[in-house]
Amino acid sequence: MASKLPSHVEYVVIGGGIIGLSIAYHLTRLGHRDVLLLERDQLTCGTTWHAAGLVTQLRANET
């Protein structure tokens, strides 16, 4: 483990794939600064094909 984990955080996102990274990104865009992202290896290295299939379904409606 590269560093010690904090004893308290407001948000914990488990997984550094496209969905986990998107959630962490959007939490910070909403002004939340106490966000911890946990990944067991390198970011996006364990991303599955399931996550990629959800991306187009999660777009905001532009109308």
pLDDT score of 1 more than 80: no
Average pLDDT over residues 11-34: 93
pLDDT score of 55 more than 60: no
pLDDT band at 13 (very low <50, low <70, confident <90, very high): very high
Q: What percent of the chain has pLDDT over 70?
A: 68
Q: Where are the alpha helices (DSSP H) in 1-63?
A: 18-29, 49-55
pLDDT score of 52 more than 70: no
Average pLDDT over residues 12-41: 92
pTM for the model: 0.67
Alpha carbon distance 47, 49 (integer Å): 7
